[in-house]
Chain A
Amino acid sequence: MLEVRLRHRFGGFTLDAGFAVPQGITVLFGRSGSGKTTIVNAVAGLLRPEAGRVAMGKTILTDVEARVWVPPHKRRIGYIFQEGRLFPHLNVRQNLRYGAWFAPKDAPREDMGRVVEMLGIGPLLDRRTGALSGGEKQRVAIGRALLSAPQLILADEPLAALDEARKAEILPYFERLRDEVTIPILYVSHSASEVARLATTVVALEAGRVIAQGRAAEVLGDPAVLPTGAREAGAVLTARVARHHDDGLTELDAGGVALFLPRLPQGPGASVRVRIAAHDVILAQEAPRGLSALNILPGVVAEIRAGEGPGALVALDTQAGRVLARITRRSVAALGLEPGASVHAVLKSVAVAPADVGGPRGAT
Chain B
Amino acid sequence: MTDWLSPSEWQAVFLSIRVSLWATAVSLPLGIFTAYALARWSFPGKQLLNGLVHLPLILPPVVTGYLLLLTFGRRGPVGGFLEEWFGIVFAFRWTGAALAAGIMAFPLMVRAIRLAIEAVDPKLEQAAGTLGAARLWVFLTVTLPLILPGVIAGSILAFAKAMGEFGATITFVSNIPGQTQTLPSAIYTFLQVPGGEDDAARLVLVAIAVAMGALLLSEWISRAVARRIGGA
Contacts and interface: CB of A to CB of B under 8 A. Distances in A.
Interface of A: 44-46, 71-79, 81, 83, 85, 87-89, 98-99, 101-103, 128-131, 144-145, 148
B127 A81 contact: yes
11 contacts: A46-B126, A72-B130, A73-B129, A73-B131, A85-B124, A85-B127, A87-B128, A89-B228, A99-B131, A99-B132, A102-B134
Contacts of B128: 87, 98
B53 to A, nearest CB: 28
B37 to A, nearest CB: 20
B126 A148 contact: no
A102 B130 contact: no
B193 to A, nearest CB: 54
Looking at chain A's contact residues, the main secondary structure is: mixed
Looking at chain B's contact residues, the main secondary structure is: helix
A130 B132 contact: no
Nearest to B145: A89
Contacts of A130: 230-231
B-side interface size class: 20 to 34
B145 A73 contact: no
Contact of A88 (B129, B134, B137, B229): B229
A44 B126 CA distance: 10
Interface in B113-127: 121, 123-124, 126-127
B114 to A, nearest CB: 19
Contacts of A144: 131
Given A87-B124, A89-B146, A102 B131 contact: yes
Contact of B231 (A85, A88, A99): A88
B142 interface: yes
B82 interface: no
A58 to B, nearest CB: 20
B133 A88 contact: no
Contacts of B231: 88-89, 130
B131 A98 contact: yes
B221 to A, nearest CB: 15
A44 B132 contact: no
Given A83-B123, A88-B146, A102-B137, A78 B130 contact: yes
B230 A88 contact: yes
A89 B230 contact: yes
A75 B145 CA distance: 25
B229 A102 contact: no
Nearest to B132: A102
Residue with the highest number of chain B CB atoms closer than 10 Å, among A73, A145, A148: A73
Contacts of A98: 128, 131, 133, 141
Contacts of B127: 79, 81, 85, 87
A79 B230 contact: no
Contacts of B138: 73
B129 to A, nearest CB: 5
A44 B123 CA distance: 13
A148 B133 CA distance: 11
A26 B132 CA distance: 23
B130 A73 contact: yes
B128 to A, nearest CB: 7
A112 to B, nearest CB: 15
B227 to A, nearest CB: 10
B140 to A, nearest CB: 12
A72 B129 contact: yes
A177 B229 CA distance: 31
B143 to A, nearest CB: 10
Contacts of A102: 131-134, 137
A44 to B, nearest CB: 6
Residue with the highest number of chain A CB atoms closer than 10 Å, among B127, B129, B145: B127
Contact of A79 (B121, B130, B229): B130
Contacts of A131: 230
A302 to B, nearest CB: 43
Contacts of A87: 124, 127-128, 142
Contacts of A103: 132
A71 B133 CA distance: 10
Contact of B230 (A46, A73, A99, A129): A129
A-B pairs, top 7 by smallest CB distance, nearest first, are A102-B132, A99-B131, A128-B230, A85-B127, A79-B130, A89-B229, A72-B129
